[in-house]
Homo-oligomer: A and B are copies of this chain.
Amino acid sequence: MKIQEIGEFQLIERMNRSLQKNEGVVLGIGDDCAALKLSSGCLLIATTDILIEKIHFHLEQVTPEQMAFKSLAVNLSDIASMGARPLYALVSLGIPSSVSVEFVDDFYRELGESGKKYNVAVVGGDTSSSKSGLIVNIVLLGEQKEELIVRRSGAKAGDSIFVTGTLGDSAAGLKVFRTGKDTMAPALQKEADFVLARHSFPEPRLGEGKFLAENRLASSMIDLSDGVASDIRRLCEQSRVGARIFADSIPFSSEMKVLAESWKKDPLDFALYGGEDYELMFTVAKKDLKKFGELREKLHIPLSCIGEIVKEAEGISLVKDNSVSELGKTGYEHFRNK
């Protein structure tokens, strides 16, 4: 069914069916604004992402479920990296006439289901027609006590740098996606499925971020959206420090390693420059390492120490095969001509 056949009000009605309310939602869709409760004494945490067709995705290559999940997940990952708890989402859509009502229904259904999974109430948004391709704007609102939020700016020389999970899977998944999984050897299909899932359905590390914050274990934190090389630079800039990354300590999945070998690529490049892993990178101060060591197993997720924070003047370097080189940022930067 074409969107034009049903009109805006029926579209909002269909959205409403998939969206949830909780006791914090005093007013959801239907009034001029959503009205939302917050626990008193907490800070409101807000983040937003805009996703534009032909820049962030190609409509013929994604399902509505993938789009909905991932657009929510990348914002949840930002909330996780502050050590905060997500509460509410506002979603704006610009919908071209080529997009079917079924696509929009499936998008909102997945949004509702993912919202339930992560305890986020999708409380409103705006819909418009578009002559410019599909546009998704997501705003995520969360909360955390002021003294517990973890910033990018808290790292100090001497702190250890940790990451959750394995890195580079998403970039490998993107490569499989672009190459076409069906062109790959039958023996690599399992590995291909694994990295594709990691690319399309990244798990936001909400529990981990909140745990680190509430136990005051992390001195700084960022989520890995553009690859270690780019994101460590952001963290270091905000903290006015340098960093030394140990190549041999970067955690890879066995699946990604197998694929990288089959492509004759270095797995390290996927982790350093690949992006979209949405794992957490955080620093732990020397004085907190013991407590961190005692508590880390409660996270039920692999944690790897991949380097250490150094003084700002020492810059950002990569230690590999006993030699030290400058770690250049080569993450994807919007706008810049390459």
Contact = CB atoms under 8 A, between A and B. Distances in A.
B36 A43 contact: yes
Interface string A21-57: 0000011001111111110110111111111111110
Interface string A114-155: 000000000111111111110101011110101001011100
Contacts of A129: 52, 55, 334-335
Counting chain B CB atoms within 10 Å of each CB, the highest count among A3, A78, A129 belongs to A129
Contact of A50 (B94, B141, B222): B94
A267 B52 CA distance: 41
Contact of A45 (B9, B33, B128): B33
A32 B141 contact: no
A271 interface: no
A278 B139 CA distance: 24
Nearest to A41: B40
B149 A333 contact: no
A92 interface: yes
Contacts of A139: 46, 48, 90, 139
A62 interface: no
Nearest to A31: B152
Counting chain B CB atoms within 10 Å of each CB, the highest count among A37, A43, A46, A128 belongs to A46
A21 B265 CA distance: 46
Nearest to A220: B31
Nearest to A46: B34
B335 A32 contact: no
Counting chain B CB atoms within 10 Å of each CB, the highest count among A30, A82, A130, A337 belongs to A130
A126 to B, nearest CB: 5
A93 interface: yes
B49 A92 contact: yes
B82 A126 contact: no
Contact of A336 (B4, B149, B153): B4
A33 B52 contact: no
Given A50-B93, A54-B132, A151-B27, A38 B35 contact: no
Interface string A3-31: 11111110100000000000000110011
A249 interface: no
Nearest to A139: B139
A302 to B, nearest CB: 22
A58 B311 CA distance: 50
B44 A44 contact: yes
Given A137-B92, A334-B128, A335-B129, A45 B50 contact: no
Nearest to A50: B92
Given A26-B146, A132-B135, 15 more contacts: A7-B334, A8-B333, A8-B335, A31-B153, A33-B142, A34-B46, A35-B82, A35-B144, A48-B92, A48-B124, A50-B127, A53-B132, A55-B94, A95-B335, A126-B137
19 contacts: A8-B335, A9-B333, A11-B335, A32-B82, A32-B223, A33-B45, A33-B46, A33-B140, A34-B47, A35-B146, A36-B45, A48-B124, A50-B127, A52-B94, A54-B131, A55-B130, A92-B137, A132-B135, A135-B135
